[in-house]
Structure 1
Amino acid sequence: MAASAHLFERWAATYDQSLIAALADPVHAAVLTAAHHHLPRPRHLLDLGCGTGRLLRRAADRFPTTHLIGMDAAHAMLTVAHRTTRAQGSPALVRARAEQLPFPDASLDLITATLTCRHWHDVRTGLAEITRVLAAGGVFVYADIHPPAPRRRWWRRCEASGWHLLDQTTGMYVIEDRPVPGCGPLLPCRLLVAGHT
């Protein structure tokens, strides 16, 4: 298990009370707004790195007829997510990593990921897996911290691994790439929406 997964195993019980979780709320809102704009009635929504289920709880209101799936590498985070999302119809929760998605080819039409890239072992492999399970006409919505220069090392790794080359390397193409509104200097985020050819 990666060091970051160990961290989240220990952090799960108090994560929702942390400043980081509160700062993620406007990012989650922007991701779901973009997702709804590009795909108003998805059949499935997979949230990669779902943590304690914060985005899933919002998604249940935005997409009431959608089958929600949360995936995380940390068992303790999924345990909290199970407890906190029961009122929303108990989304399916799966323990796995982005690099090995346990879903059939072309089986999902909406995939979200928020503030997770730096925790992946191999971003290029994760993108390839997302492309594999995303159905034709499906949408991938991603948001992460995008610090101003000098860029932090983990963000350079994400960029170098191909976020800006989605259309050339994965069969996905960029539909939208913009800053997340409402995020100040503590959490300067960008949002990327990609479609599947």
Structure 2
Amino acid sequence: MTSNIFNQKQNFFDRWAPNYDIIFTTIIYQSLHKRLLDYVELPENPYILDLGCGTGRLLHRFANEFPTLKGIGLDLSAEMLRQARLRNQHRERVIYKQGNAESMPFAEGQFDGVFNTISFLHYPNPQEVFMEVSRVLRVGGRFHLVDYKGRDENEINFIPFSPNGIRFYSPARREEFGRVAGLRCVGHYYLLGWVMLSVFVK
């Protein structure tokens, strides 16, 4: 059942990829990425993961802002990754890989930071994603989760958009995901409208 959902989501984003940046990245994501930078703390020579990287705009911005940064973008959609690779201006420091957020092809403690921007709402098994994020983060590393905030503390807000729909989680739900995965929430911050950044540390 779950594998079928992933196949459906991959096909959905493969079809969307050629036109994805026309609306979402140019208008909304650029503002979110710029505001996100105000809350980012990275060590020297950071190694980061952009989970659900889409067409690669966030990694591009990070590579411009941090000249010693190296990063990997992971996405389920082959076509999104094709777009990201075509536009990659930092090939010596940034690469893109296809993979599933619930079973990432990375070593334990590999990254100083993990970033996830308007992607978490698509994941059918959010706790599994948190467990994987915790696994690939080094001790002291941070997970920056940017997504629409659920409006009810006790319910998961569901919208039937894309295969299997999308879900919004309250700050309390996010904190619980983190607690189970061994990640401590250090703050929630509104970036734009109902879009909230939640920062976790391992």
Which TM-score band (shorter chain)?
A: 0.7 to 0.9
Q: Report the TM-score, using the length of structure 1 for normalisation.
A: 0.85
- Equivalent residue, structure 2, for 1:142: 145
Shift of 1:117: 1.1
Q: CA deviation at 1:128?
A: 0.3
Partner of 2:162: none
Aligned match of 1:116 in 116, 119, 124? 119
CA distance in 2 between counterparts of 1:5 and 1:41 reads 35
Q: Given the alignment of the two structures, is residue 98 of structure 1 paired with residue 109 of structure 2, yes or no?
A: no
Q: In structure 2, which of residues 83, 87, 100 is the aligned counterpart of residue 84 of structure 1?
A: 87
Compared CA separation, residues 145 and 60, structure 1 to 2 (3 A)? same
> Do residues 13 (structure 1) and 18 (structure 2) align?
yes
8 Å contact kept, 2:104–2:132: yes
Mean CA deviation greater in 121-130 or 14-23: 14-23
Q: TM-score, normalised by structure 2?
A: 0.83
Change in Cα spacing, 1:14 to 1:167, as seen in structure 2 (3 Å) is: closer
CA distance in 1, matches of 2:47, 2:201: 15
Residues matched between the structures, number: 188
Q: CA deviation at 1:31?
A: 2.5
Q: Do structure 1's residue 170 and structure 2's residue 157 form an aligned pair?
A: no
**Higher RCO, 1 or 2 (CA under 8 Å, sep at least 6)?**
1
Q: Distance in 2 between matches of 1:160 and 1:65?
A: 33
Find 2:27's aligned residue among 22, 31, 38.
22
CA distance in structure 1 between the aligned counterparts of 2:178 and 2:123, rounded to whole angstroms: 20
In structure 1, stretches of 5+ residues that fail to align are: none
The offset of 1:43, in angstroms, is: 2.2
In the alignment, structure 2 segments of 5+ residues that lack a partner are: 1-5, 159-165
% identical aligned pairs? 27
